[in-house]
A and B are shown apart, each in its own frame.
Chain A
């Protein structure tokens, strides 16, 4: 069974720090991986989608990487701000017409 794991479950950093959020997946047959942000009581917002043929995707201060051989993806946030405080989830798409497999998320707090 395919699984996606995010460790740690929660992270607290001071404002301005560069940080990395981790996502591990068990099946190297991953087709693409998507990172989401969720604010408290809200739905998920898509941040970045990395195809298996890519190694990185960038959007503003966010950079996501994908390494199929090691079963890891990372989300790098540069110069963190209090407004970045949210839960970040990753989800993998696998071969076959099946829904995404989600991690449980990392809750990020950026302290001013």
Chain B
């Protein structure tokens, strides 16, 4: 079974702090994604990566950056945390692009981040 692991289930940070959210997958997947999920707004894509050192902006990249130095690891960085970044953050990975190989998307268990 594919395993996508997010390093923290819960985080509490202060406004202005630099925050790192880590995600690791163990199945040699090409693509990795970061979403945030908020009540009433659904899942929103922040950034994604289709290869090591490659990144693409999603729908809401402002205030975030990402790093993918190794294939299995995709990090989300909040450069200066703000209260409006309080949210559930979900990492996901897939073997390839869904249209190429009908590859399902696999999610981690999420990180609940609170910025005070």
Contacts and interface: CB of A to CB of B under 8 A. Distances in A.
B98 A43 contact: no
Contacts of A25: none
Interface residues of A, number: 25
B50 A91 contact: no
Given A41-B112, A42-B109, A43-B110, A95 B43 contact: no
B90 interface: yes
Contact of B110 (A41, A97, A104): A41
Q: Is the interface of A mostly helix, strand, loop or mixed?
A: strand
Contacts of A105: 42
B43 A51 contact: no
A100 B98 contact: yes
Interface in A55-112: 89, 91, 93-97, 99-100, 102-105
B1 to A, nearest CB: 11
B90 A43 contact: yes
B105 A42 contact: no
A95 B99 CA distance: 6
B113 to A, nearest CB: 13
Contact of B104 (A41, A49, A102, A104): A49
B96 to A, nearest CB: 9
B61 interface: no
B74 interface: no
A43 B6 CA distance: 10
B3 to A, nearest CB: 11
B102 to A, nearest CB: 5
Interface of A: 31-32, 34, 36, 41-46, 49, 51, 89, 91, 93-97, 99-100, 102-105
* Shortest beta-carbon contacts, A-B, top 7: A93-B98, A104-B42, A43-B107, A44-B107, A31-B99, A43-B109, A46-B104
